[in-house]
Structure 1
């Protein structure tokens, strides 16, 4: 396994008119972060130096033109482009959106080639990134196309994990996307993720119903009875501890989520509203189900405070921590797959030491 400081975390810069650059720089002003990983920011060192000045930051940046020039223990900035970019904090700009995607695509390519160990993405604006070369709602959809696996948005904060059955789908189209095959696929993805990336040997998974009161036995919609319930039973019969569908309205308020290792919501706001209520500013968006690691903060570009040095870097820092932790968990899982007895011995030793 790699030494901590040798874990290479790639960072896509996001929308330069938003708070992305600010939270990235603030994260690595804490020099202890460089003991855990070596960051490489996919952007342009002159632009980041300009943004650094607006923040009165003294963070040293190491500009490079190729990844083989990367220096362990420094904040590396890979020059993905050389030209100047007109930065107007808080403004929506198609030009700036294009540079956000240029950074993201370069970082994704490095991830595919194993030139970086994990990717952390700063926030983009979903409107100004749209172009002929990028017709995706966001990061997750592009990664699903470029990387192996089945991408699933999993929001994480401490022991709270909320996954989405459907993510960036209009509410009036959610039921069209909800099929038994999709439910089975998402449960299996979460199950494997919890074992591989979160060190949970026998995870318990709750599935939230689509309709009010989980359909009230078909009185308020039939999807819960005809799609969700049979799929959940098939998973349970297969040995996966999946339960539900549960009525979503009181699930989090009553603390039921604390009994499970993950919760799968049927649609975006059903999962994101309670998650952000319970964890806002500390949560991490993890793209589960892929052969590579990608995390991001749980917030957007925050144009209203961009350039004012007011952004809280907590969520971005948590995203870096989570990427590093998942990288370690995957290394352990791969080792365990080769030699389960060896890992069991290590776990027993650590318990004795505690």
Structure 2
């Protein structure tokens, strides 16, 4: 474990043909960032050298053979590969996918053995990462396999937190996937995360309806009445501050979301469209419910601007600060809950 204030922050480099490397390097081009953490990038010296030259970035880094050898006060680069990747900015190539997976696997292994404390992942392309030994639709599913816990895709800012009942699932399959067990598990996961990761003692959670107008009393669909409502009542009766289901079309526009600590959306776009609209590129994708902390920016590879030096690092920088904040909150939570006499100190 690093000394207080020097959390070892691992970074998987993502798709080398996208903007991942650019937002990473731009984030740590500001030397003040090294006051908060020790960054450890999983890539290679030659890869980072090429990217910084192409992007015209003024940044120095320190090559290491292993994350455990990272040096405080420097940007550390773990040499995961010896090859020199062919960078083709703006193109989705199998080679870029191969190196993205290599970086991610190395970073996750370091996270599992505590060589790094937290992980921030740069964007990948869900198509070119597919391989015989990697058949996951994204980071979340892979991390759920590798790390202990019940994963939840949780989009967060200081003022807005949106979790998903189902994430990378076709819309036609959403209703069939939502059942009482899934709802209970996701509510408990989001509740625990709000308490442990964000310091909210008694979180209020809103569930959005599956159908338009939450089914209009069965006129537009029965799932809300027959699946969501009974579980919400059951959990509410058991003492959980769970409410809904709310009609998704008016929930955000009416500012109703401001009355809750988190919102649980039924499916991907129901939650992410309003979240990204309201967060203005400052949002963070957090994988809640796992034994380790992982965040990422709320954008993708952005091939259309890759290599042009136009990428905005704001969301990646927010992902870094969010990871650090959650790590510290978890440590505090564990210390307080280990001593029953101090539990009341967990802040609202």
For Structure 1 versus Structure 2, the TM-score category normalised by the shorter chain is over 0.9
User: What does residue 101 of structure 2 align with?
Assistant: 101
Show the counterpart of 1:280: 280
Check conservation: 1:4, 1:37, Cα contact below 8 A. no
Residue aligning to 2:185: 185
| Length, aligned pairs only | 348
Once the two structures are superposed, the pairs formed by residues 78-227 of structure 1 within 5 Å of their partners are 78-227=78-227
Shift of 1:123: 0.1
- 2-side partners of 1:316 and 1:4: how far apart? 23
Once the two structures are superposed, the pairs formed by residues 293-312 of structure 1 within 5 Å of their partners are 293-312=293-312
Q: CA deviation at 1:4?
A: 4.5
List per-residue Cα deviations over 1:18-51 (Å, max 9, x = no partner): 0000000000011111111001000011110111
The alignment's TM-score, normalised by the length of structure 2, stands at: 0.97
Write out per-residue CA displacement over residues 260-315 of structure 1, whole angstroms, 9 at most, x where no aligned residue: 00000000000000000101310000000111100000000000000000000000
Equivalent position of 1:351 in the other structure:
none
1:76-116 alpha-carbon deviations (Å, 9 max, x no partner): 00000011100010011001101000000110111111111
Could you give the per-residue CA deviations for residues 289-343 of structure 1, whole angstroms, max 9, x where no partner exists?
A: 1111000000000000000000000000000000000000000000011124346
Distance in 1 between residues matched to 2:239 and 2:311, nearest whole Å: 45
For the Cα contact (< 8 Å) 1:5–1:38, is it kept in 2? no
Shift of 1:67: 2.2
Gaps of 5+ in 2: none
> 1-side partners of 2:115 and 2:231: how far apart?
39
Distance 1:311 1:163 in 2: 26
Residue 128 of structure 1 aligns to a residue in which SS? coil
Hey, what's the Cα distance between the residues in 2 that align with 1:154 and 1:334?
21
Q: Relative to structure 2, which stretch is displaced further, 10-19 or 67-76?
A: 67-76
Aligned-partner Cα distance in 2 for 1:24–1:270? 29
Q: Which runs of 5+ in 1 are unaligned?
A: 349-354
Aligned ranges for residues 294-333 of structure 1 at < 5 Å?
A: 294-333=294-333
Partners of 1:321 and 1:347 in 2: CA distance: 20
Deviation at 1:69, TM superposition (A): 2.1
